[in-house]
Amino acid sequence: MTLTAEDVIRRNHVNVFGRGTKPMIFAHGFGCDQHMWRFITPAFEKDYRIVLFDYVGAGSSDLTAYDPTRYASLDGYVDDLLEICRALDLRDAIVVGHSVSSIVAVLAAKREPARFSRLILIGPSPRYVNDPPEYVGGFERSDIDELLSTMERNYIGWANYLAPQIMKNPERPELAAELTESFCSTDPEIASRFARATFLADNRADLQGVRVPSLILQCADDLIAPNEVGEYMHRNLTDSTLRLMKATGHCPHMSHPEETIRLIREYLRDQNASTARE
Amino acid sequence: MTRTPAQLESERGAGPIAERWDLAPCGLVSVRDDGIIVAANLTLAAMTENVGEELAGQSIETLLTIPSRIFYQTHVFPMVKLHGRADELYMTLRTRSGTPIPVLVNAVRRELESGAEVDLAILRIREREKYELELIRAKKAVEAASAAKSRFLSMMSHDLRTPLGAISGYAELIEYGVRGPVTEEQIADLVRIKRASRSLLGMLDDLLTVAREQDAQLPLRLEPLSIQTELTEAEATVLPRYVDARVRLVLEACSPELLVRADRDRLQRILLNLLTNAAKFTPNGGKVSVGCAVVANRAAIHVADTGRGIPPEMLERVFQPFVQVESDDAGKEHGMGLGLAIGRELARAMGGDLSVESAVGRGSIFTLTLPTAAASG
């Protein structure tokens, strides 16, 4: 089935705004949707054409487009990103990816390098589960299993109550909105699959041969992507810049938007300067 | 400084707000956006085997198990940051010695001049946790069993249709004399065979409907329908039963202008079931009256019988599949207890409902409500 540009834009709830011409596309991480960028995008609206979207299964995307096979691995999410780039005919876009979306951005840049000029990777990790002795991802497999069970326990309350209501009341979109409001993600099955695709992936080998330059933003005390992982990314990604942030936690774009904006700006400015010199 | 239980007890009187905060029967903690604890009460400290003062300045993450830390970062923090609050979150704390404690958490974000803070109330759910897990397990088992049952029902009803078709087909061949001369008595038997197989076929259709309704919703064709017309049609179909059962069927006049928005086949199915049931559960010489009314933008069709009524404990159960009120009238035929279950499902699917009022010894009134439709529709 071929999707038209309009289909993709509707499917992924794509929002385009900003007064610049250079495209800057923001890819949200696991557990949330495009709303998470709202503290960052105002700073770039003046100079860039901002593109926001929800992966299928998240936020206000078209849930009927969810195909468990396609989204069983990160490749399905890479397809989403590339299809949006094609629908909007983006070239040389700056892609800002949070967490799992950093890896999605890396994979997309390998497949279609001409689409992207820079990758901004916030809290990236190519593999979350430890692989002793040479690799520390930060987690044991049992941690991920327990995370899935914690998610299930939290999703089950509203899934039992609200999900059937939405199925029966398609004319009442506020019910779906309520659900999205409460969890940024609308279906426990989808969330659980996304968690598996994210936390059980091993994309270490994919870091080789990426031709698009990248900025790695590494938070202090980030449990999900610890310092060692940021350094691993930096060592293995050609033409990457690693910046250690004062921001702690895993969502600096939400907890420390000013520092995040400043580091992205500095990187883009330095890159432009070096490109101009070349 | 930690206090002894005795000290805590003596302070439990009319202390200042600060002490109430400390001794509240739930863990209370305020954190900044970066997760650093600004203040924590003694209950939380005791729960996690910490000393109260030591918690300030630490990250909230140090109080959580690793999976709950991921959940906090990927779900709780974004949710509270974007929406200002989050309720009834299930998480697991970790004591200093590493013991996991299941808790429920409510969180509210406050914008302060010094920066935003998130207040979390943390309630231990040790016992609740156990049966909640059991409930989830049981629920999954029931869902799996119900899906298996639906598959079985739909397969079985399909498979039974073929031999049933053969039975009535061959009975017809014999009845028409294709196999040779037939006596009057044989014809009467053949008619009974055909009637019985039709009744079986009806039950199979019901089974198939239940199985399907549980699998997926069938599309409805909603159109404006005259209640009067639909009732008259249903009456014509069930009248022979009423004659057989010696029960009087009284159709009170409904305004011909009264239109409902419904799917014609589904509405007929509900009406036929209500009327057939009423005939079935009303003794010889009894009466079934059908009337209608309009309340707000809903039309109501009442089917009232003079049967023996339904005991209070059965009132809701009669709408569950495979449940029937026991009838002591052994001579009457029985279905599978699917009609009312299907009827309510269908009525609700069309935006209405099917309910019952009844008292033992005084009969039952079944009420079907449906949205009214504009006459111009």
Confirm or reject contact between B71 and chain A (CB < 8 A): yes
The reply to whether ipTM tops 0.95 is no
Q: Is residue B76 within 8 Å of B107, Cβ to Cβ? A: yes
Q: Give pLDDT, residue A12.
A: 96
Helix (H) or strand (E) holding A15: strand A15-17
Interface test with A, best of B36, B72, B73 (most A CBs within 10 A): B73
Interface contact flag, B83 A151, Cβ < 8 Å: no
Separation in Å, CA B120 to CA A271, B29, B146, B339: 43, 5, 39, 50
Predicted pLDDT at B330: 45
pLDDT at A58: 87
Question: Closest to B90 (Cβ–Cβ): which among A154, A224, A250?
Answer: A154
Q: Are strands A48-52 and A93-98 parallel, antiparallel or unpaired?
A: unpaired
Helix, strand, or coil here: B39?
Answer: strand
Mean pLDDT of B79-99: 90
CA distance A156 to A161: 8
How high is the pLDDT of residue A158?
52
Residues of B in contact with A35 (CB under 8 A): 82
Let me know: does B116 contact B109? Beta carbons within 8 Å. Answer: yes
Report the pLDDT value the prediction gives residue B377, as an integer from 0 to 100: 38
Q: Does A226 sit behind a cis peptide bond, omega within 30 degrees of 0 on the bond before it?
A: no
Binary contact (A139, B66; C-beta < 8 A)? yes
Looking at residue B63, its pLDDT comes to: 95
Beta carbons of B157 and B207 less than 8 angstroms apart: yes
CA dihedral B292, B293, B298, B300 (to 10 degrees): -40
- Confidence at residue A24, expressed as pLDDT on a 0 to 100 scale: 98
pLDDT tier, B353 (very low <50, low <70, confident <90, very high otherwise): very high
- State mean pLDDT over B11-22: 72
A192 is an active site residue: no
Q: Please, what is the end-to-end C-alpha distance for chain B in angstroms?
A: 77
pLDDT at B212 exceeding the cut of 80: no
Comparing C-alpha atoms, which of A254, A272, A278 is closest to residue A99?
A254
pLDDT digits (tens, 9 = 90+) for B222-269: 899 999 999 998 998 888 889 888 999 999 888 888 899 999 888 998
CA distance B70 to B104: 16
Q: Is position A61 annotated as part of the catalytic site?
A: no
pLDDT, position B10:
58
Instruction: Give the Cα separation of A268 and B160 in Å (integer).
Output: 72
Range scoring the smallest mean pLDDT among A73-77, B11-15, B125-129? B11-15
Considering only CB atoms, B73 lies closest to which of A143, A157, A224, namely A224
Lookup: tokens for B298? 């809903």
Q: What is the DSSP string of A87-121?
A: HTT--SEEEEEETHHHHHHHHHHHH-GGGEEEEEE
Local confidence band at B216 (pLDDT 50, 70, 90 cut-offs): low
Residue bearing the bigger pLDDT, B185 or B143: B185
- Residue A47 is predicted with a pLDDT of 96
Phi/psi region, residue B146 (left: phi>0; alpha: psi -120 to 50; beta: rest), is alpha
Question: What is the pLDDT, as a whole number, of residue B3?
Answer: 57
Angle between helices B126-175 and A141-168 (to 10 degrees): 50
Quote the pLDDT of residue A64: 83
| Token pair recorded at residue A77 | 């999410």
Residue B194 has pLDDT above 80, yes or no: yes
pLDDT tens digits, residue range B275-301?
A: 988 988 899 999 999 999 988 888 999
Mean pLDDT, rounded, of chain B: 85
User: Whole-angstrom Cα distance, residue B323 to residue B317?
Assistant: 7
Where chain A has pLDDT below 70, the residues are 1, 156-186, 275-278
Please confirm, yes or no, whether A143 is among the known catalytic residues: no
Catalytic residue, chosen from A13, A98, A234, A250, is A250
- Chain centroid to Cα A78, Å, comes to 10
In this prediction, residue B5 has a pLDDT band, given cuts at 50, 70 and 90, of low
* CA within 13 Å, CB half, B306: 12
Domains, chain B, ordered by start? 5-124 (3.30.450.20), 126-218 (1.10.287.130), 220-377 (3.30.565.10)
Q: Chain A contacts of B217, Cβ < 8 Å?
A: 167-168
User: What global pTM score does this model have?
Assistant: 0.66
d(CA A143, CA A243): 28
Residues A32 and A104: beta-carbon distance below 8 Å:
no
CB atoms within 10 A of CB B153: 21
Q: How far is A127 from chain B (nearest CA, A)?
A: 15
Q: Does the distance separating the beta carbons of A150 and B67 come in below 8 Å?
A: yes
Q: Give the pLDDT band of residue B74 (cuts 50, 70, 90).
A: confident
Share of chain B above pLDDT 70, in %: 90
Catalytic-labelled residue, pool A222, A234, A240, A256: A222
| Contact state of A224 with B74 under an 8 Å Cβ cutoff | yes
Q: Does the pLDDT at position B1 exceed 60?
A: no
Measured CB to CB, residues of chain A less than 8 Å from chain B are 29-32, 35-36, 38, 99, 139, 143-144, 146-147, 149-154, 156-157, 167-168, 181-184, 199, 221, 223-224, 247-251, 254-256
If we measure between CA atoms, which residue out of A122, A47, A106, A56 comes closest to residue A84?
Answer: A56
Q: Residue B36 in contact with residue B58, Cβ under 8 Å?
A: yes
Taken in order B306, B310, B315, B319, the sign of the CA dihedral is negative
A247 and B59 in contact (C-beta within 8 Å)? no
Contact A202, A74 (CB under 8 A): no
Question: Mean pLDDT across the stretch B325-334?
Answer: 54
Q: Do A29 and B74 touch (CB under 8 A)?
A: yes
| Averaged pLDDT for residues B325-336 | 55
Residue B2 is predicted with a pLDDT of 55
CA–CA distance, A169 with B351 (Å, rounded to integer): 10
| Residue in chain B nearest A251 by alpha carbon | B73
Cβ–Cβ under 8 Å, residues B57 and B36: yes
Backbone angles phi, psi at A58, to 5 degrees: -110, 160
- Specify the pLDDT at position A185: 55
- Nearest chain B residue (CA) to A149: B67
Integer Cα distance of B103 and B76 in angstroms: 14
Selected residue with higher pLDDT from A70 and B146: A70
Kind and range of the H or E run holding B371: strand B364-371
CB A156 within 8 A of CB B143: no
Identify the active-site residue in A60, A61, A99, A240: A99
- C-alpha pair distances (Å), B241 with each of A228, B246, B272, B278, B284: 81, 8, 11, 11, 12
**Reading across the β-sheet that carries A116-122, which strands appear in turn?**
A15-17, A48-52, A22-27, A93-98, A116-122, A214-220, A240-248
Distance CA A122, CA A253 (A): 8
> Which pair of structure tokens corresponds to residue B38?
């600004």
For residue B140, what pLDDT is reported? 82
B48 has a pLDDT exceeding 90 = yes
Residues of chain A neighbouring B132 (CB-CB closer than 8 A): 153
- Determine the Cα–Cα distance for residues A96 and A120; give it in Å rounded to an integer: 5
Q: What is the pLDDT of residue B152?
A: 81
